[in-house]
Structure 1
Amino acid sequence: MGQYLKRTDPSFLSKAFGFAALSDTIRAYPELTSKQESGTGLWVNLRAAGERASPGQTSDSL
């Protein structure tokens, strides 16, 4: 995801949105899910319709 953003918008910075890292930015959006896989980076998807994270639940725990 980070490499894609760098190619499509080289000026993108998570810090401009108040987050230290891209993964923190993604976790802030409840309509997104993320999965960290060893050696492949961070995979991001839209949450399925009707699927909601419960309060305090991160996308990594789904």
Structure 2
Amino acid sequence: MGDTIDVRLTADEFRYVISCGSALLLNIPEGSLPTYTHFSKAQIIDFSARMREQFDQAGYDM
């Protein structure tokens, strides 16, 4: 894992970040993902899963 940055988000902002990762996978061809996001499909799935886990641990519903 690279450098980390601590960021404060509201629950709605956090929900948005998680939802956008999933939406990218549905709407952008896999080969184009790195162009738009600098993340591969596998990286987006991993990031979204980790963020979803954090959201669930905080007690929020998606």
TM-score range, shorter chain: under 0.3
Question: Which structure dedicates a bigger proportion of its chain to strand?
Answer: 1
- TM-score, normalisation: structure 2: 0.28
Q: Which structure features the higher share of helix residues?
A: 2
Give the TM-score, by structure 1 length: 0.28
Higher relative contact order by CA 8 Å / sep ≥ 6: 1 or 2? 2
